[in-house]
Structure 1
Amino acid sequence: MENFIKLGRKIVAVARNYRKHAAELNNPVPEEPMIFLKPTSSYIQEGEAIRIPPGCNRLFHEVELGIVIGKRGSNIPYNHYLDYVYGYILALDMTARDLTEVGLPWNISKGFDTACPVSKLITKSALGDPHSARLWLKVDGIMKQDGNTSDMVHNIPKLISYISQFMTLEPGDVILTGTPDGIGPVIANQNITCGINDVLQMSFNVE
């Protein structure tokens, strides 16, 4: 499953899954998970650059924990969620914020090429408790986001169970679990470095 980028058929992302993040955007916290999709063509890994899409003047960073699905499942019971988790990744949900704020669908604002930088696979044992993981992000060495997955509104079993009611999860699919507060803009020639616990960090240049 190291090749989840090639194997997976979809990226299922969760919006407003941290209360402070919803508050910083003046958005209500949804009672059920708020779901959107990113195309797998938006994946990049270290060594590739984040490219600002045409017409975007406000490109924002959002650091997230991603879940890599290990086997096919639908209507997955809440208590059996871990059977379907192969491992985890660190991810960025790059967002053309000015395009999300004009009432348009999020397909372009969150699905453009290079909109989903991801790390290599993190095993379940290496991460430990996914509900107690520190997520942090720096822009040019300055801390911008510093949160913990313990603050998620909807936890991982809830997300897997809920999403699988509507769409079958398949091996290599990725679920992005939402971002903590502190999101903000990046511009060309800046560098984003982010990490999860002391397990892994990654770095991307913006161009």
Structure 2
Amino acid sequence: MTQPPQPPPGQNGPKLRNHVYDGIQEFDQRLPNWWLYTLYGAIAFSIVYWFAHMVAKVVPADGTQVDAEMARIAAVKMAGSIDVTNDDIFWEMSGNPVFVEAGKQTYTSLCAACHLASLRGKGENPAAVGPDLTDTAWIHGGTPKEVYHTVSAGVLAKGMPAWEPVLGQKKTAEVVAFLLSHHRKGEPVTVETPK
């Protein structure tokens, strides 16, 4: 093994280490400050980023952000073509958090006065005006399209107004999606006779 060449004594130049590995010789010098600051900055950033994501949960995780955006895109696609005669579309809407949240807001502002915020209506409070919307017994039909028809056309004899002329088809479908989110597809449905 040959010794690496050294600068002559008294001449300033880069110092070389005394070993050679695969024909490569290393300088024996301090790293530049800009390089060290970049390294230390990257380490500090990674610690702050880890703390914000993993410990403090200040920033939502990437998977959560992607899921929320995918739900929003699906909601926009579904809203463009709502077939109010297709039960499967209503069940799909009831699984979409964007539709359900929008329906919840509308329900809370307009329907909770009669059916209560818990959707339990007379099942929770006999003095309530509206029936229980969480059980499987329905007065005017329990399929999604029948629920939609009840919400959109109303039940004037019982004091429930027709909501579709006020809300429009999309918001009415969102309310139905919110109601269906408290049920399971295929659950047994009974139809009660109105009293």
TM range (shorter): under 0.3
Normalised TM-score (structure 2) = 0.24
Relative contact order (C-alpha < 8 Å, sep 6+): which is higher? Answer: 1
Richer in helix (by share): 2
Normalised TM-score (structure 1) = 0.23
Richer in strand (by share): 1
